[in-house]
Structure 1
C-alpha cells in the first residue's frame, strides 16, 4: 500500500501588491500604494509646470502684455510655491505632488541658491562704489548721504537728485569725495579726479543718465550713472516700452565705450532676470550675489520685492556686494567692492 502525503501542496509564490508587507522596501507603507500616486495629480501637474517655467522662463510669451518680462521680474518669488505645494501635498497624501515639490525646490535652489554662497574671488578690492535712488521726495537728504558714506565709498552714484536737495548732497558728500559731476537728476561723487563728464541721451525726453571718466587707482574707468524710465502694470499688461528703449540706448553706448573698464550704476527699473535686460547683461556682469549677499532686493524699501537697482561691470572684478540700511527713500542703497 502506497503512503499518501496528506500535507498541503506548496503554492508557488505570488507577486505581492505594491505597498504590501514583503514588497520592495522603498515602496512599502502608505506612500507606496497606487492610490497615493493617483491622488493630487492636478497639484503635481501645476507644481511641475512651475518648475519647468522657473527653469526655462522664456517659455512664458512676451507677446501678450509683456507677460514674460513680468514673470521674470518676480521670478525668485516662485520659490514661495515650494512650502505651499508641500503643505498641500501632505494634506492630500499625494506622492506624485510630493515628488513635484522636490523638483520645484531643486530648480529654485539651482537658480537662486548660488546667490547665498560665498563666491567672491580671492583678490584684494581697491574701489568701493555705492548707488542709491535717493527719492525726489526725500525729506532728509543729509541723513541719507551720511548713511551712504557709512560704506566708505570711493564713488557714489545718486538718482532723483532734485535742485532743492542738491546742495545738501553736495555739502555732505563733498566733504569726503571732492570730485563730482551732475547732469539732470543724476550725479556722481568721486574720491578720484573726474576727467570727463557728459549727459547721456537715452531717448527719455529728459536727462536721467550721464557718462563720466574717472582716473581710478590703475587708470581710467568709464562710469555710467543711469535712471531708466519707470514701468507700470495696468489693464493691458506690463508697460515697459520706454524703459526698454533706454536699455537699448545704454547697451549701444556701452558697446561703443572705448575704455576697457566700465561700471554702470543706477536704478534700471527692472530685474537682471528680465529678458529685456539681455542687451546689457550680455555685455556687462551684474555684481548681484557676489560674496553671498543673496537676492539683494532693493524696492520698495519697506518690504523689498525686486532688485531694480544695479551695479554692472566690464573689465572689473567684483569681490563683494551688499545692501545698506534704509534711508528716507523708497529704494535701498547698494554697495560693491571691486578690483579695477
Structure 2
C-alpha cells in the first residue's frame, strides 16, 4: 500500500481591525465631553456640589481633544480622529474668543484686587508689590492681624482707605460712605464710594465663603451661594450707575450658582483680557476665582500681576468711566 500524502493546512492570515474599528470605545469620551460642555448648567449642585465643581473647571474639559488626538495617532484610528472634531468645535465656540487678546489702550481708572492670604509670611513685601502696580484703587481680601502692615506700607501711595473686617479698600481718590455689607456671619464684604475726577463710582469688595469638601457630602457651596445672593441683592439696590465688584468669589463666572451675582455685570477679563486669566492657586493656576466685574463703564484692559507670597495671583483692570 502506498503511503497517503500528508495533508497541509494553511492558516488564514489574522485580520487586523481596520482604522474605523480601532479605538471605538475610547471615542466615547468625545460625546461625553461634548455633553458636559453643552449641558453643564443641568448638572445638579445637590449631587455633592458637582455642578459648581464642573463649571469652575469647565475650560479644562478641552483637554480631551489633544488626549484623543494622541490616542488616534498611536492607535491609527480614524474613528478617534473624526470623533474629536465634535468636542473641539464646541469648545472653540464656547471659549475660543477668550483666547484672543482684547486689551486696548486707555482707561480712566486702574484697579487691582488681591486675596493676600491671612497666612502670608511676608505681608510687607506683598504690599510693596501692590503699591508698585500704580493702580488707582486696590482691594484686599483675607486681611487678618496683618492689616496694620498693609496700612503702613500703602499709606504713602494711597491716602484714603477703609478696612471692614477681613476686606479693605485703598484709593488715591477720596472715599465716602464706606460700610460693611451683611453677607456672611462675619465681615467679608464692604461697599464704598470712590470720588474720581470723572464722578463717583460705587466699589464693592467681597470675599465669599470658601467652598469646603467633605467625604460625606462632597463639595459644600451652600454658605458661598447664600452670601452671593445677599451680595447680588445689595448690588441690585445700588443707586450709582457706575459700579465695580472686586474680590475673591470662590467661583468662576461659568458657575451657574453665582449667576444672580455675575450675570448683571461684565467681567473685565472676559471683555478686555487675553486668555483665561487664571488666578488660583498661584503656583499652578487652574481657575479664575478672583474677579473684577463692572457695570456702567467699559473695561479697556485686564491682566494678572506677578505672584506675591499669597496663594492667589493679584488681578488688575483698566476701565473707562
Structure 1-normalised TM-score? Answer: 0.86
Alignment of 1:90-101 (within 5 A): 90-101=73-84
Structure with higher Rg: it is 1
- How many angstroms apart in 1 are the aligned matches of 2:37 and 2:86? 11
In structure 1, the residue corresponding to 2:118 is in which secondary structure?
coil
CA distance in 2, matches of 1:89, 1:101: 9
The CA deviation at 1:294 is 0.9
Identify if the C-alpha distance between structure 1 residues 242 and 190 changes in structure 2 by more than 3 Å, giving closer, same or farther. Answer: same
Asked if residue 255 in structure 1 is aligned to residue 245 in structure 2, the reply is: no
User: Which residue does the alignment assign to 1:239?
Assistant: 220
Q: Which 5+ residue runs of structure 1 have no aligned equivalent?
A: 1-33
The match for 1:44 is 27
Taking the aligned partners of 1:38 and 1:234, their CA distance within structure 2 comes to 42
The question of whether the paired residues in 2 share the 8 Å contact of 1:116 and 1:289 is answered with: no
- Aligned 8 A contact 1:158 1:187 in 2: yes
Match of 2:270 in 1: 289
Q: Is the 8 A contact 1:179 1:193 kept in 2?
A: yes
CA positional deviation for 1:123: 6.7
Q: Take 1:175 and 1:290, find their aligned partners in 2: how far apart are those partners?
A: 32
- CA drift of 1:83 comes to 1.5
Shift of 1:199: 0.5
Map residues 94-243 of structure 1 onto 2, 5 A cutoff: 94-120=77-103, 124-163=106-145, 165-202=146-183, 204-235=184-215, 236-243=217-224
Please give the alpha-carbon distance, in whole angstroms, between the structure 2 residues aligned to 1:168 and 1:293.
33
For the residues of structure 2 that align with 1:330 and 1:315, how far apart are their CA atoms?
31
How many pairs does the alignment contain? 305
Q: Residue 106 of structure 1 aligns to a residue in which SS?
A: helix
Distance in 2, Cα, partners of 1:167 & 1:107: 49
Cα distance in 2 between the residues matched to 1:282 and 1:323: 22
Q: CA RMSD in A?
A: 1.7
> C-alpha deviations, 1:237-285, integer Å up to 9, x for none?
2110000001100100001111101100011111111111100122111
Q: Contact (CA 8 Å) 1:177, 1:191: kept in 2 or not?
A: yes
List per-residue Cα deviations over 1:18-70 (Å, max 9, x = no partner): xxxxxxxxxxxxxxxx9322332222222122023213312423331121111
Q: Could you tell me which of 53, 63, 66 is aligned with 1:70?
A: 53
- Deviation, 1:291, is 3.9
Residue 44 of structure 2 aligns to a residue in which SS? coil
Preserved contact between residue 53 and residue 59 of structure 1 (Cα < 8 Å): no
Cα distance change of structure 1 residues 123 and 305 upon mapping to structure 2, 3 Å threshold: closer
Paired with 1:226 and 1:281, the residues of 2 have a C-alpha distance of 13
Contact in 2 for aligned 1:117/1:291 (Cα 8 Å): no
CA distance in 1, matches of 2:164, 2:121: 22
CA–CA distance in structure 2, aligned partners of residues 59 and 92 of structure 1: 34
Give SS of 2:288's match: coil
Deviation at 1:93, TM superposition (A): 2.1
The 5-angstrom pairing of residues 5-16 of structure 1 reads: none
In 2, distance between residues paired with 1:310 and 1:291? 13
